[in-house]
Amino acid sequence: MASLTGQTALVTGASSGIGKAIALAMAAAGANVGINYIAGDDVVEQMVHDIESSGGRAIPLKADVSREDEVLAMFRKLIGAFGTVDILASNAGIQKDSPFANMTLAQWNAVLNVNLTGAFLCAREAVKEFLRRGVVKERSLAAGKIIFTSSVHEVIPWAGHANYATSKGGLAMLMKTIAQELASEKIRINSIGPGAIKTPINRKAWETPEAADALRRLIPSGRIGEPKDIASAAVWLASDESDYINGTTIFVDGGMLLYPGFRTGG
Ligand code: BGC
C-alpha cells in the first residue's frame, strides 16, 4: 500500500461504514488520524485503541460538520495535537429519503447541510492550513490533498432521493471548482464515487436475500462493494502515487455506471 508516513489525515464521518475503513487504512499507511464522528463514542474509542496498539496515532474529534463553530474547534484540536493537517477525507454523509412531493424542508436541509455545507466547511479549513504551511517535501509533493466521498449519484439521478442526489451533484462541482482554483498552490482535490457499498446507510438495500439480489442486478461486477474497496482508493488518492490526478471523480462501483439495464435491453 502507498505510504502516508508522517502525514496527518482528518477523516469525517469515521465511526462507521466507508469513513471508518478510510480512517483505519490511512492509519495503517502511516498517517496520524483525526477521527471525526457524531455518534459512536465506544466505536471510536476502540478504533483509537487499535490504531495506537499497532504503533499509530489517532485522536477522536466529535463534531457536527454542518456547524461552523464545531468545525473550527475540530481543526484547532487536530492541529494542536499533530501540528498540521496534510489530508482531508471529507466523508460524512447522510440520507433522508422521501418521495419528492412529500419531502420536508427539514429532510432537504439536513442532507444538504451535512453532505454539501459540511464538505465546504471542512475543505475550507483544510485549505487554509495547506496554504499557510505549503509543501513540506519530506512528506509529500503536495501542499495538501482533499478526497471527497461522493457517490455514483453525482451522475445517476435517483428517484426518491432528490436531496441526496442533489448534494452529490453539488459536491462534484465544488470539488472541480476548488481543484481548478487551488492546483497552482499544489493542492490536489478529488472525489471517490462509490457505488453500492455494504454499510449502515443502505442496510435496507442488502439485508434480505431478495434485496441483495435486486441490488446485484444493478452491479455488472456482480458483488456488493465493501468499505475496504473505497479505503484503498482513498489511500492511493492521498499519496504521491496519484500526484498527477486532480479535479476528478474516481468511481469505485463495480460498473454500476455502465447502464446495466442495457445488458439485456436496448
Ligand atoms: C448511497 C447508497 C446506495 C448507493 C448506490 C450511495 O451513494 O448512499 O444508499 O446504495 O449510492 O445506489
**C-alpha–C-alpha distance, residues 153 and 164, integer Å:** 8
156 CB under 6 A from ligand 1?
no
Cβ count within 10 A of residue 122: 25
- Whole-structure pTM value: 0.98
Question: How many angstroms does the Cα of residue 193 sit away from the middle of ligand 1?
Answer: 10
**C-alpha–C-alpha distance, residues 134 and 144, integer Å:** 8
**Which of the residues are catalytic?**
164
250 CB under 6 A from ligand 1?
no
Task: Say whether domain 8-264 belongs to CATH 3.40.50.720.
Answer: yes
Question: How many angstroms does the Cα of residue 48 sit away from the middle of ligand 1?
Answer: 28
Residues whose CB is less than 8 angstroms from the CB of residue 167 and which lie 6 or more positions away in sequence, other chains included: 93, 111, 112, 115, 116
For atom 12 of ligand 1, the residue with the nearest CA is 196
C-alpha cell at 125: 479549513
Mean pLDDT score of the chain, rounded to an integer? 98
Judge whether 40 and 30 are in contact, CB under 8 Å. no
Q: How many Å separate Cα 151 from the centre of its chain? A: 9
pLDDT of residue 2: 78
Question: How many angstroms does the Cα of residue 54 sit away from the middle of ligand 1?
Answer: 32
**C-alpha–C-alpha distance, residues 162 and 158, integer Å:** 7
Cβ count within 10 A of residue 223: 12
Q: Which atom of ligand 1 is nearest to the CA of 205?
A: 10
DSSP class of residue 118? H
Lowest mean pLDDT among 86-90, 170-174, 209-213, 261-265: 261-265
DSSP 130-162: HHHH---TTT-SSSEEEEEE--GGGTS--TT-H
Question: How many angstroms does the Cα of residue 143 sit away from the middle of ligand 1?
Answer: 32
Tens digit of pLDDT for each residue in 148-184? 999 999 999 999 999 999 999 999 999 999 999 999 9
The ranges assigned to domains in the chain are 8-264
Amino acid at 178: I
95 CB under 6 A from ligand 1?
yes
Tens digit of pLDDT for each residue in 61-80? 999 999 999 999 999 999 99
Tens digit of pLDDT for each residue in 29-62? 999 999 999 999 999 999 999 999 999 999 999 9
Judge whether 193 and 171 are in contact, CB under 8 Å. no
**C-alpha–C-alpha distance, residues 198 and 206, integer Å:** 7
Mutate to test the pocket of ligand 1, among 197, 221, 226 (most ligand atoms within 8 A of CB): 197
Question: How many angstroms does the Cα of residue 94 sit away from the middle of ligand 1?
Answer: 10
195 CB under 6 A from ligand 1?
yes
Tens digit of pLDDT for each residue in 211-223? 999 999 999 999 9
The residues facing 89 across adjacent strands are 11, 147
pLDDT of residue 59: 98
pLDDT of residue 76: 98
For atom 2 of ligand 1, the residue with the nearest CA is 202
Q: Which atom of ligand 1 is nearest to the CA of 151?
A: 7
**C-alpha–C-alpha distance, residues 125 and 46, integer Å:** 27
**C-alpha–C-alpha distance, residues 126 and 144, integer Å:** 8
Cβ count within 10 A of residue 188: 26
151 CB under 6 A from ligand 1?
yes
DSSP class of residue 32? E
